[in-house]
Amino acid sequence: MKKHILIINTGGTLSSVAKEHGLTPGLTTDTMLRELHVVAGDAELSTMEFASLDSANIFPEDWARLAEAITENKDSYDGIVVIHGTDTLAYTSSMLSYMLQNISIPVVITGSQLSISDPVADAMENLRCAIYMAQRGKNGVFVAFNRKVILGCRASKVRSVNFDAFDSINAPNVAEINSFGMKINDAMVPEKNGIFQLRNSFSSDIAVVKMFPGMHRSLLTSLAKEGCRAIYIEAYGLGGMPYIGHDFIEAVGKLVEQGMTILIGTQCRFDGSNLSVYETGRRALEKGVLQAYDMTTEAAVTKLMWVLGQTSDPAQIREYFSVSLCGEVSL
């Protein structure tokens, strides 16, 4: 039986046209219909124009609306493909993974490094992979790019020009395409472990701070004064922060005492953080910080926003960070 796939367009390079001030999204799904049918095989397609934005202009409010649009349509389609700019695609795929936990269809996000109107673009191949994955009946939020499928909360944009723009960080790909066709690794498909319920509340009162030698701890206190409820700190290596001279960890501890959530991750793209190895990490743990372990920055930041949208209770926030909700962290 023919599978019915909904294509939701949000913009990005895939649908861009060259204008006086540079490349900007402009093509609609209607104007791309011929190309979409070429890559859809025998799937039946419907389309929805959600936005026409460079993904630098995507905000958390858009994630909440997008999750709502997907929820409203999920029972009418076998799968949904979202066309999105690549720059913030991994933030969107991570946030949708939390907002749409336990969804019972595939939601596959894709984009491209060159506009579909360019004869040598990667757009057709990426759409082909996304539409094919959307027909496979695997539940969850995925990213399809350069002939691979990545779990939404494990994707990260790692190249700004190369067609192989996304990697699956600290987790195997969900699927790869080669001359044997698409091979899906079922162990990477999220298990449905509860009922689906749209949970698209969030809080954007957070900050992301990247540690560097000489960084002054007053930066943290000023963020707290500005009304931040949580800070994600990209620390060094396994999660190291200074405590001699400028006692950064002491400053962190004071913020935790005031009720702020401090989540510690790493600047290293691979392997993740583990605060229990070094003295510096253990000192931070004693102050009550939370650990991001092997989460991507995109998954950690959006989890923080999502969790703060669910609760303000420090014990519950800690509880959320002690579990993997949709495959975003290995504990």
- Binding-site size for ligand ASP (CB under 6 A) equals 9
Q: Rule CB under 6 A: choose which of 29, 55, 97, 302 binds ligand ASP.
A: 55
User: CB of 10 within 8 A of CB of 53?
Assistant: yes
Which CB, 87 or 294, lies closer to ligand ASP? 87
Q: Which of 13, 29, 86, 266 is catalytic?
A: 13
User: CB of 232 within 8 A of CB of 305?
Assistant: no
Residue 22 has φ and ψ, to the nearest 5°, of 115, 180
Q: Rule CB under 6 A: choose which of 54, 118, 176, 247 binds ligand ASP.
A: 54
Is residue 87 within the footprint of ligand ASP (CB under 6 A)?
Answer: yes
Examine the residue annotation and report whether 13 is marked as an active-site residue of this protein: yes
Specify the DSSP class assigned to residue 9. Answer: E
Which CB, 54 or 118, lies closer to ligand ASP? 54
Smallest distance from the beta carbon of 156 to ligand ASP, in angstroms? 14
Smallest distance from the beta carbon of 100 to ligand ASP, in angstroms? 21
Is residue 110 within the footprint of ligand ASP (CB under 6 A)?
Answer: no
Residue nearest ligand ASP by beta-carbon distance: 85
Is residue 113 within the footprint of ligand ASP (CB under 6 A)?
Answer: yes
Smallest distance from the beta carbon of 203 to ligand ASP, in angstroms? 24
- Report residue 194 CA to chain centroid gap: 21
* C-beta atoms surrounding 188 within 10 Å: 20
- Burial of 293-316, coded b for 16+ CB within 10 Å and e otherwise, reads bbbbbbbbbbbbbbbbbeeeeeee
CA angle 157/163/164 to nearest 5° reads: 55
Cα–Cα distance measured from residue 154 to residue 166, given in angstroms and rounded to the nearest whole number? 10
Residue positions annotated with a catalytic role: 13
